[in-house]
Amino acid sequence: MTPHATSAPQDASAGLAKYIDHTLLKPEASEADILRLCKEAAEHHFKSVCVNPVWVRTANRALLGTGVLTCAVVGFPLGAHNTDVKVFEARGATMDGADEVDMVINIAAARALDKDSLVNDISAVAEVVHGEESILKVIIETSLLSDAEKVLACQAAVEAGADFVKTSTGFNGGGATAADVALMRQTVGPDIGVKASGGVRTREKALEMIDAGATRIGTSSGIAIVTGGAGTDSY
């Protein structure tokens, strides 16, 4: 297990910035928007910036020397891609400099309780991502799953070698809840990271997620979270 998936610091409030994947996934985001995102992440010492694959190289270059990681999404936001497409996308992202990859599962397979399909999909991406010494987070899209399906998806992610499980894309309704984070933590155990994303816009909400077991927070409201300001609805 890599250091990125370790448990949260004891003083969650003081170290809050290091939980945050500063995120901009809107399709209309421009290069100027991405460069601003990277500058904000460096200024506030966030853990990573999370961007669409087309911006990975730009973000990676902007973040050189800052200590902030570059994260790319794969199979986003629906997860309804063939596995070989996800693998190709993940390989391209890591070659462009992604330290972390957040992939969306085959949600239909989870709803069908088809664990084998989930494991095969995730493990193929994990092989590519880990081959480049990068981290794999697996988005299970909690708002579309029953509790039993969430548990199955998390079990499949662990079996397939994921480093994290993640609640949501932020694009398919719903978002992170403390109950879902707690269920995911209970399912994956202490050694796999849990990322809460979708609707986490305030310091209080972020701390609630951490208390429930989250070790990473995906949000476009990172500055508001660390300064106590008001977040935004965008992702």
- Show which residues are catalytic: 102, 166, 195
Residue type, 111: R
Neighbours of 29 (CB within 10 A): 17
- Please give the Cα distance from 200 to 211 (Å, whole number): 14
Please answer whether residues 141 and 107 qualify as being in contact, where contact means their C-beta atoms are separated by less than 8 angstroms.
yes
- Please give the Cα distance from 141 to 132 (Å, whole number): 26
Token pair, residue 91, equals 């390989």
Measured between alpha carbons, how far apart are the two ends of the chain, in Å?
A: 29
- Please give the Cα distance from 147 to 53 (Å, whole number): 31
**CA-wise closest residue to 142 among 93, 116, 104:** 104
